[in-house]
Amino acid sequence: MDDVESVLLSLKEQALAATKRGDGEFYRGYVADDAVAIVPVGVFDKAGIVAAMSAPGGGFQSTSITDTRVKVLNDDTGIVTYVAEFPGRGSVFVTTVYVRRDGQWQGVLYQQTPLRAQA
């Protein structure tokens, strides 16, 4: 299972780097055809995800990623969670569910949950 954990962490890093570059093409292979992204502004399918990640300054422009965790469910399924801080918007919990199909790992679910401001 450690190998799966390493693969999932690498995928997360590749996705974050692609987002910073505005590389929507990366997301065509990274997300599954049946992928869903749930974010504070709406719910997106694969086409919407690719479009958002292709837009200049769009997508996930966080300033820091903390508290990364991986949960391997089996040899073909895993979850990566972390906290992302956005400039001027606060922080969100992020969850990505990955599935390996036909030997290829892809994201099938991405969700952001806003953190409440601490009093």
Q: Domains of the chain by range and CATH?
A: 2-114 (3.10.450.50)
pLDDT band at 53; cut points 50, 70, 90: confident
pLDDT digits 0-9 by tens, 65-81: 899 999 999 999 999 99
Give residue for tokens 């991986």: 70
Give the C-alpha separation, 42 to 18, whole Å. Answer: 21
pLDDT in tens, 19-36: 888 888 999 999 999 999
Task: Dig out the tokens for 13 from the structure.
Answer: 């890093």
Please name the residues in contact with 25: beta carbons below 8 A apart, sequence gap of 6 or more. 50, 54
Q: Compute the Cα dihedral for 106, 14, 88, 114 and give only its sign.
A: positive
pLDDT of 86 above 90:
no
Phi, psi of 89 (to 5 degrees): -120, -5
**59: pLDDT strictly greater than 70:** no
